[in-house]
Amino acid sequence: MNISGYQIIREIGQGGMATVYLARHEVSQDQVAVKVMHANLIADKSLVERFLREGRTHAGFDHPQIIRIFEVGQLDDGRPYFTMEYLEGDTLKDFLARQGSLSPGDAFQLLSPIMSALAYVHGKRFIHRDVKPENIFLCRERGAVLMDFGITKEADRNTRFTEAGMAVGTPHYMSPEQARGEATDHRTDIYAMGIVLYEALAGRVPFDGKESIAIAIKHIQEFAPPLPADVSNYQPIIDKALAKDPVRRYGSIVALQQDFQRGLAGEILTPFSATSQTVAATGVTGTRIMPSAGLDGNNKGRKKLIWLVAGLLLVAGGGAAFHYFGSQRPVIVQSGGGGAAIDGSQSTAPSSSSPSPLVPTPPVASMTVSLDQKWQELQPLVAADPVAAAKKFADLMARTANDPVDASRAVAIRRQADPLFSNAALQFVRNNQVFSPGGRCAFDVLKHWAPLAMDQGQVDRVLKPCLLRYADLAQKNIQSGSPEKTKSFIASARRLAGMSPQRSATLLSAAGIAKLEGQIALLDKQVSEQQRQASRQRSVANEEIDQAWGLLSQSRPWQARQKVNKAEALGATANDLSGIQRALDIALKERKRQGEGLLTKARQAYEEGRFSQAVSFCDGVDPELSGKFLDTAVCDTARREKQSLANKWKSQNDGPVTVQKVK
């Protein structure tokens, strides 16, 4: 397998969706992990899109406690891949398996960076939806790192599942609303973090079972057992984080983080309110059961039950993404259909004799050669790999702050660097590589170089064509009726313009971004009106469905069917109609069965010459079925014979009556 720009060293892991390789960048010589989708899966376009979406979403994050994605692309045979950091350390899952429970101080030192990472993700209006110890990596260089964004979703996309066949979480860490298939927001991640915190303090997860469905039902119906007595003062945090109703949880992950800090400082935390869902710490260890959600017997309850069952079935067969890093030994972390592999060829994970990851060892920076010499060595890399060169250039300039180097020399070098990086970034623009593919684009050059540029005009020289490119893409998507894509391009344009703070407004105006935003606002208004109209129609359709249920209960299936047809015309979804349609089918089949029985009796009576009785049986057949779904020819014949006999009798008995006197 060949990936342009990289030398594959060896395979380091494999999951249900992809294989991961350790690779070396041919120019910078940096080691990276390369995740490549299995060839037998690329026929499924939805899986390919999901894989690429994971990489692109993740690549947009820039936080020290979130693993970095460098590049997203596709091989010549169509297999998608992305490259990411190759780090050394261990997962929190394996660490807890060795250590058992942690002290509150150690738990906070490990999990506080992850809480900060989640706050960053939530601030970007994304939800992770799969926070768990397997997705927390303990890196010796920079502490705990959050990874695996395979089922991340945008906070304002009100979807129940990302795609058919995909899980929406891991059972042990799944929030009640995830288990029920309801809409999720950032409080789903807060619930999962509460489970991780409980596991770190108690040495076990609060809800367990032999099957995924049993665990998920516990999340919905049961309350977590109390924390051990020695950490019971943190119970209010657990109670609030694990509230069944998202509204009653912490409003933000930062609020949870601050409460934890107050607890560590010795402050007595306010217990969850008397009406909360806590299990009193009075020696009671039994399970408390909540009333089952979604089983109230009405149409809405039936839908919730369907979502619960569907969601749990998906958990068994779904998957999340993978990320791969160095650890002490080979480990396969299964995550549904995806999985994660952690390569362990280089032993760096904590052990009884090695330093604990709770105290990361920062890298030592020292300049062993002169600044000029390092700059001379770096210049050839600018043409070969501008992104790697820009990153190394930023590192080089950062080191000068603590190095006895002539400050004016550093300034002179920055002036020399401006045209080199400007030209390199422009080449990316000419190749339409502004933001994508991640890791090899104009933005990644600008991100490292622009803050150090001495000539802001050189930065603007790159920004102008970038902004015009995004304005053009935004305009085309407005014309094609794709407001979300348009907004994405405008957001990218604003992010780029931020590289030139003083001229940002001027650059955006020159590119026509403000005008595009006005068009988007108008389009949003139109979409909102369409959505309101659709909502009104959906409400009327639901009323028709409710009336259909009432008619069916009165044994009036044909009238109920008319209501269902009207609801369908109003835009009722297949899910809305599935229950009433099944009930109608059952009722009509029973009517047909009864009709067939009556017709059998009618035929027998006719053959025996009992025409009146045959007609009586025919009269019991549902007239809506007559002639359409049942053969009622015998009924017509029997009625004619009955009428013929009646006419004959009448003709025989309509003459004058003779009265004779009998002596």
Which tens digit of pLDDT belongs to each residue from 256-286?
A: 999 999 999 888 888 876 344 433 333 333 3
Confidence (pLDDT) at 535: 83
How large is the average pLDDT for residues 363-375? 57
Report CA torsion sign: 336, 337, 342, 344.
Answer: positive
Element (H, E) at 381: helix 371-384
d(Cα 150, Cα 321) in Å, to the nearest integer? 4
Whether residue 420 contacts residue 379, with contact meaning beta carbons closer than 8 Å, is answered with yes
- Of 130, 148, 189, 239, the catalytic one is 130
d(Cα 510, Cα 460) in Å, to the nearest integer? 12
Confidence (pLDDT) at 45: 86
Confidence (pLDDT) at 89: 78
Could you tell me the two tokens for 18?
Answer: 């992809």
d(Cα 12, Cα 344) in Å, to the nearest integer? 8
Confidence (pLDDT) at 655: 60
Confidence check: pLDDT of 333 > 50:
no
Confidence (pLDDT) at 167: 36
Could you tell me the two tokens for 564?
Answer: 């269902």
Q: Check if 130 is active-site.
A: yes
Residues 6+ apart with CB under 8 A from 291: none
pTM over 0.75: no
In this structure, which amino acid lies at residue 362? P
- Burial (CB < 10 A; 0-12, 13-18, 19+), residue 464, is middle
**pLDDT tens-digit map of 24-74:** 888 778 888 899 999 888 888 888 888 888 788 777 888 888 988 888 888
Q: Which residues of 367-391 are buried (b: 16+ CB within 10 A; e: fewer)?
A: eeeebeebbeebeebbeebbbbbbb
**pLDDT tens-digit map of 646-659:** 888 888 776 665 55
Whether residue 176 contacts residue 222, with contact meaning beta carbons closer than 8 Å, is answered with no
In this structure, which amino acid lies at residue 454? M
How large is the average pLDDT for residues 167-186? 80
Confidence of residue 169 (pLDDT cuts 50, 70, 90): low
Whether residue 263 contacts residue 233, with contact meaning beta carbons closer than 8 Å, is answered with yes
Report CA torsion sign: 580, 584, 585, 586.
Answer: positive
- Of 63, 204, 238, 72, which Cα lies nearest the Cα of 147? 63
Q: Where are the alpha helices (DSSP H) in 100-249?
A: 104-123, 176-179, 186-202, 212-221, 235-241
- For the chain, what is the mean pLDDT? 77
Could you tell me the two tokens for 646?
Answer: 């009646």
How large is the average pLDDT for residues 134-154? 75
Residues 6+ apart with CB under 8 A from 364: none
d(Cα 458, Cα 499) in Å, to the nearest integer? 12
**pLDDT tens-digit map of 593-649:** 898 999 999 999 999 889 899 999 999 888 888 777 888 888 989 999 888 888 888
Could you tell me the two tokens for 438?
Answer: 């991640």
For 282, phi and psi rounded to 5 degrees? Answer: -125, 30
Where is pLDDT greater, at 356 or 67? 67
**pLDDT tens-digit map of 391-450:** 889 888 877 765 555 566 788 889 999 999 999 989 888 888 887 655 678 888 888 898
Could you tell me the two tokens for 602?
Answer: 């009618």
Whether residue 357 contacts residue 138, with contact meaning beta carbons closer than 8 Å, is answered with yes
Confidence (pLDDT) at 407: 64
